[in-house]
A = this chain, B = another copy of it.
Amino acid sequence: MHRVNVGLAGFGTVGSGTYGVSTRNAELIAQRAGVELAVTRVVCRNVEAARSAVGPEVQISEDWHDIVNDPTIGIAVELMGGIEPARSYVMACIEAGKHVVTANKALLAAHGNEIFAAAQAKGVHVGFEASVAGGIPIIKVLRQGLVANRIEWLAGIINGTCNFILSKMRDEGVAFDETLALAQKLGYAEADPTFDIEGYDAAHKLTILASLAFGVPIDTSATYVEGITKLDSVDIVWAEELGYRLKLLGIARRTDAGIETRVHPTLVPSSALLANVEGVMNAVVVNGDALGTSLYYGRGAGSDPTASAVVADLTEVAQRMTCGCVDNPNFSNTQTARLPMAETVSQYYIRLVLDNADVIDAIKARFAAAGVNLQAVHQRPADDASVAVVVMTDTARECDVQAVLKAIADKAHVAAVLRREDFS
């Protein structure tokens, strides 16, 4: 049986999981795939800790060049995270003719085009299943399972930290700050959680998914990003009463005027499967012209779930090595225009706080004048003397809605603007 030696750079949660899964299920993997994977070298900062976790046949050191310079290694895994030295390591491995498997979405979001171009030129494969949605095989689904489909749109819960916080806020009626503290205590949020809660992590992943779905170069700067830090529990309660749940979604859509990519809190109908994805779980909904809507759900982070994706990549690359078959994504689609956020359309939930109810008619008139139709206007007394109003719009353009909000600024405090989308 064909045996492939693997070098592992990074031996934290995912690195040790990758070693563990590939070792304990080695026989099963070999039986299924007809190839044998052997981790022969680990590079990490804490050599002692790695030594106690792996077998004596594995060489361990601190310098990633040791993997690059080991001619017996066929596939180099990058699980260091961050941009440097991850980028230098990956490029050096490609240059040395090694296939690469990475879980690093930040790296791909920043340097993916360069990395894939180098790999293609060198005839090596870059596997990145673990970079989006952890163990859910969404990369394989988009690249192979749905290869026959023109993708119309996709929408995903692709940040477990945010989904955990939003689930808790709803379940227990707790405010954002308190829930974030709980998430940190449970290890679901980092000490500095900015990257997750401001939506950047989801934006990186969305960028990768959109590039695959639409065949365009990776371009993170084109994505609109709005996190969950400014959310008020009040809106979660209102949403619930109106039949919606609040989720941080990454949304990518093909329109005639260009591809739109955006990350923001979104109201999803409570009956939709996506609304029922709770806690740290991830899910991606994809709509293709042949298949229609399909959904992929599972663990988006964690040691073994992410390792499941890394080892799936290792297995596929090892199989491809036996027959010299390289297959990297093709981002050569000529229709690469991006739709500006101002041009996107959605249905809106707008919560206004008014000094008194008398101005409601004037506000409605402003919406009408801008061509923004309203589905409903819900009114109730707020805590103090003021009046709270929730306006539910029909489908409207972002720029038209923003223009109305500006125009009514003298009459109303705009407390929340949320988009409503139906991905069922």
Contacts and interface: CB of A to CB of B under 8 A. Distances in A.
Interface stretch (A55-63, A161-169, A182-190, A315-323): A315-323
B135 A25 contact: no
A288 B273 contact: no
A146 interface: yes
Contact of A319 (B135, B215, B316, B327): B327
Given A25-B148, A34-B330, A295 B292 contact: no
Contacts of A322: 325
- How large, as a class, is the contact surface on chain A? 35 or more
Given A31-B330, A290-B25, A147 B296 contact: no
A276 interface: yes
A147 B295 contact: no
Given A34-B327, A271-B276, A323-B324, A149 B25 contact: yes
A17 B150 CA distance: 15
A292 to B, nearest CB: 5
A141 interface: yes
Given A148-B22, A308-B146, A330-B34, A298 B290 contact: no
A294 B31 contact: no
A29 interface: yes
A305 B325 contact: no
Contacts of A288: 308
Contacts of A295: 295-298
A52 interface: no
A251 to B, nearest CB: 18
A288 B325 CA distance: 28
Contact of A311 (B29, B147, B276, B324): B147
Nearest to A135: B291
Interface string A2-36: 00000000000000010001100100110111100
Interface in A380-401: none
A372 to B, nearest CB: 32
27 contacts: A21-B149, A31-B215, A31-B333, A32-B329, A33-B147, A34-B327, A135-B290, A135-B292, A135-B294, A140-B140, A140-B145, A144-B312, A144-B315, A146-B312, A147-B311, A148-B315, A273-B276, A273-B277, A273-B297, A289-B304, A291-B298, A291-B299, A291-B304, A293-B299, A294-B296, A296-B296, A320-B325
What are the 4 A-B residue pairs with the smallest beta carbon separation, nearest first? A137-B145, A294-B298, A148-B311, A323-B325
Interface of A: 17, 21-22, 25, 28-29, 31-34, 129, 135-137, 140-141, 143-150, 215, 271, 273, 276-277, 288-299, 304-305, 307-308, 311-312, 315-316, 319-320, 322-325, 327, 329-330, 332-333
